[in-house]
Amino acid sequence: MMECQDYSSTRFPKNFENEGEEKFVACDYNYFCHKNGNCLIFHRRNILDITDLDYVYGHNYESENNNLIILSCDESSLKNKSCNTEKCVGPNNCFSNNCVDGICITNKEDPIYNCGTVKENSEFKVKCKLNYEEKCKDDTDCTIDAKCNKDHICQVKSRGYKNTINYFIVSIFAISTVILII
């Protein structure tokens, strides 16, 4: 089996599916980058967990700085309790360079981009889009598996879907209760 280059995020090629649902195999190049410069190459393991409740949680990045936290929360997501990070003790713990009350907060002046392998017109490229919790204008601004929500924040795609289902179930329950009372 072919091995990927040292600057790839994985040792061996992996399976991908592009937005057009075309499947392909390629080396995985994944980076977190600031708008104005420095990037971190990362391995997919232990970076982001998206739980069944769509709670996004950022783990420490395994690097020379063992306390570097990649994920940052938008202040509105933090208030809604839909985002959290490992506890930071100062700005140097956060890739966003913004630690507030022990939580890494997004930096509007220098957003974080998630860059990864894509296939466009039969060519493999590394494309960068806004990371989770960064401010956006529309869905095309956000990284894979994210959408631009009504608050203009890149959010895990399935979260809105599940909220719609929960709203639907609550509505049916409320209507059923009203019908039973009548």
Q: What is the pLDDT of residues 114-161, one digit of tens each?
A: 988 887 777 788 889 999 999 999 999 999 888 999 999 999 876 443
Q: What is the pLDDT of residues 7-34, one digit of tens each?
A: 777 777 777 776 667 787 877 778 889 8
Q: What is the 3-state secondary structure (H, E, C) of the chain?
A: CCCCCCCCCCCCCEEEECCCCCEEEECCCCEEEECCCCEEECCCCCCEEECCCCCEEECECCCCCCCCECCCECHHHHHCCCEEECCCCCHHHECCCCEECCEEECCCCCCEEEEEEEEECCEEEEEEEECCCCECCCHHHECCCEEECCCCEEEEHHHHHHHHHHHHHHHHHHHHHHHHHC
